[in-house]
Amino acid sequence: MPGEHAKLSASGAKKWINCPASVMMEAKFPDTSSAYAAEGTTAHALGEAKLMLGLNRLTRVQYHKNVSNLEITEDMEEYTDDYRDFVIEEYNRVRAKTPGAQIYIERRLDFSSWVPGGFGTGDAVIIGYDEIVIIDLKYGQGVKVDAKDNPQLRLYALGALAEFGYLFTVKDVKTFIFQPRVSNISEESISVDALIKWGLTVKKKAAIADSGAGECAAGDWCDSGFCKARDLPRVYR
């Protein structure tokens, strides 16, 4: 999985869209990690390996080699099985309409034409004749994540559209949050036209955030987005 991070990341988009000053403010704090983040990284690595095995892109020997150093719990085995099954089921649905449909696992998606330096990693990206499907695994259980109006997934969709849209006549985008530990499978369907219209709005906000301009605006995105500077703007609440 990629170790680098974009300045205006897709995962932090809710923060910098609503609070453009958060980019500059967070830059003053060191990067930190946690046991929860490490657990999520492990779950993603395991889910990726299971998908690659299920898609016959890894042999059983290669699979066991890839997961041998992971600290895997019984629950994680079950949850990542569910994730693998969901992704492959969705891939088969698209492939039934488009025999030549493509699926990409842990795919780097570049949306820099909308957000300066913008890129991220799509956990599962499916490209069909008339649709793009983005599936994002969320392993956390503290905050329930909704796919509706989710800027992270929409930015991933814009990146996928930029890379693969020329292959087919894509008209619609379907995004999913798969969050097994809180039994949450959330979905959004949006037309390509509506997605691009949204992207044009976000492009203006991204330019402000990237420039270091804009004011701090505290809101629920401070806590739900785990802003490193979230204790600073509480006086504005």
Query: Is 115 part of any domain?
Result: yes
| Distance of alpha carbon 163 from alpha carbon 49, whole angstroms | 24
Query: Is 68 part of any domain?
Result: yes
Provide the token pair at 35.
């046991």
- With a cut of 50, which residues of the chain have pLDDT below it? 1-3, 233-237
**Coil vs helix vs strand at 167:** coil
Total count of domains within the chain = 1
212-219: which pairs have CB atoms within 8 A and are 24 or more residues apart?
212/23, 212/24, 213/20, 214/19, 214/20, 214/21, 215/20, 215/21, 216/19, 216/21, 216/22, 216/25, 217/18, 217/19, 217/21, 218/19, 219/18, 219/19
Query: Is 221 part of any domain?
Result: yes
Query: Is 99 part of any domain?
Result: yes
Q: Is the pTM of this model over 0.85?
A: yes
Query: Is 155 part of any domain?
Result: yes
- For residue 185, the cross-strand partners are 178
- Report whether 17 contacts 149 (CB < 8 A): no
Q: What per-residue confidence (pLDDT) applies to 234? A: 45
- Report whether 161 contacts 202 (CB < 8 A): no
Q: What per-residue confidence (pLDDT) applies to 183? A: 96
| Distance of alpha carbon 20 from alpha carbon 10, whole angstroms | 14
Q: What per-residue confidence (pLDDT) applies to 2? A: 43
Residues of the domain holding 18: 13-231
Q: What per-residue confidence (pLDDT) applies to 19? A: 77
β-pairing, 131-137 vs 172-179, is: parallel
Query: Is 140 part of any domain?
Result: yes
Query: Is 6 part of any domain?
Result: no
**Coil vs helix vs strand at 160:** helix
Q: What per-residue confidence (pLDDT) applies to 181? A: 96
Query: Is 237 part of any domain?
Result: no
